[in-house]
């Protein structure tokens, strides 16, 4: 119960910092709309929508927006050594990881909603065939992506390459997630009752959350 209370407090702290400073969300939403606009100019300018490329378009926006999100949310904690102060508190590092992960998932969900709305409007994205599958696959995908991004964001903030390195580290690890998620978003009918694609998403989320919980302290304290 203490862990749950700590997680709730830390998530509330991260969201409060974001609400007061608006460091991340406005920038990510604008960036998401820009991605959709640029991809729309390239892919859907003939007026027939993105069609089978919808999943890929959404994931390009999620990936680049997400990399920036992870970097900025961790940079807020690095500023004025807030992270060092946080590490001095008697809170389990796994709890710290989960709280950062939840905050990142919540921020990414808002960005995903904005990007999806922009794609519905500009790219002719169709989700009405199976909206529940769309939401399920998107949430599972973002959860796994946020787990990898949260894990490495603490390290990358202190290196020479910052965001570029975070993207380089996180993107290859997320490729199975992107592949499965984009495939299911492009063809929701292929999901079946609980098909291979969804199993990959769930397995990815479980593996990376477990490893993140176990190794976050090693990465922060090294």
User: Least distance in Å: CB of 159 to other proteins?
Assistant: 5
Distance between CA atoms of 139 and 133, rounded to whole angstroms?
Answer: 10
Taking CB under 8 A as the rule, does residue 93 contact other proteins? Answer: no
Written as six digits, the tokens of 10 are: 């830390």
Q: Which is nearer to other proteins, 37 or 199 (CB)?
A: 199
Taking CB under 8 A as the rule, does residue 132 contact other proteins? Answer: no
Q: Which stretch binds other proteins (CB under 8 A): 32-40, 121-129, 133-141, 166-174?
A: 166-174
Q: Which is nearer to other proteins, 38 or 214 (CB)?
A: 214
Beta carbons within 8 Å of 218's beta carbon, 6+ residues apart: none
Taking CB under 8 A as the rule, does residue 202 contact other proteins? Answer: no
Q: Are 69 and 149 in contact (CB under 8 A)?
A: yes
Taking CB under 8 A as the rule, does residue 180 contact other proteins? Answer: yes
Taking CB under 8 A as the rule, does residue 197 contact other proteins? Answer: yes
Taking CB under 8 A as the rule, does residue 208 contact other proteins? Answer: yes
Taking CB under 8 A as the rule, does residue 196 contact other proteins? Answer: yes
Q: Which residues ranging from 36 to 75 are in contact with other proteins (CB under 8 A)?
A: none
Residue by residue, what is the 3-state secondary structure of 56-122? HHHHHHHHHHHHHHHHHHHHHHHHHHHHHHHHHCCCCHHHHHHHHHHHHHHHHHHHHHHHHHHHHHH
- Map residue 188 onto helix, strand or coil: helix
Q: Which is nearer to other proteins, 2 or 189 (CB)?
A: 189
Distance between CA atoms of 158 and 150, rounded to whole angstroms?
Answer: 14
Beta carbons within 8 Å of 93's beta carbon, 6+ residues apart: 87, 216, 217, 220, 221
Quick one: which of 12, 37, 121, 158 contacts other proteins (CB under 8 A)?
158
Taking CB under 8 A as the rule, does residue 211 contact other proteins? Answer: yes
Residues that bind other proteins (CB under 8 A): 148, 151-152, 155, 158-161, 165, 168-169, 172-173, 175-177, 179-180, 183, 196-197, 199-200, 203-204, 207-208, 211, 215, 218-219, 222
């Amino acid at each position: 119960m203490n862990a749950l209370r700590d997680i709730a407090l830390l998530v509330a702290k991260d969201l409060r910092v974001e609400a007061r400073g608006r460091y991340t969300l406005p920038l990510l939403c604008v960036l998401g709309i820009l991605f959709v606009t640029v991809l729309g100019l390239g892919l859907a300018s003939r007026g027939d929508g993105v069609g089978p490329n919808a999943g890929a378009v959404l994931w390009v926006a999620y990936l680049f927006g997400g990399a920036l999100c992870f970097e900025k949310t961790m940079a807020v904690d690095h500023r004025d050594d807030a992270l060092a102060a946080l590490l001095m508190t008697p809170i389990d590092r796994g709890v710290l990881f989960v709280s950062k992960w939840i905050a990142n998932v919540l921020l990414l969900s808002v960005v995903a909603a904005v990007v999806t709305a922009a794609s519905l409007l500009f790219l002719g994205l169709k989700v009405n065939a199976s909206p529940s599958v769309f939401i399920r696959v998107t949430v599972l995908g973002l959860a796994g992506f946020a787990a990898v991004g949260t894990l490495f964001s603490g390290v990358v903030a202190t290196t020479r390459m910052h965001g570029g390195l975070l993207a380089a580290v996180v993107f290859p690890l997320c490729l199975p997630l992107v592949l499965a998620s984009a495939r299911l978003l492009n063809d929701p009918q292929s999901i079946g009752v609980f098909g291979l694609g969804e199993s990959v998403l769930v397995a990815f989320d479980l593996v990376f959350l477990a490893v993140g919980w176990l190794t976050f302290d090693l990465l922060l304290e090294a």
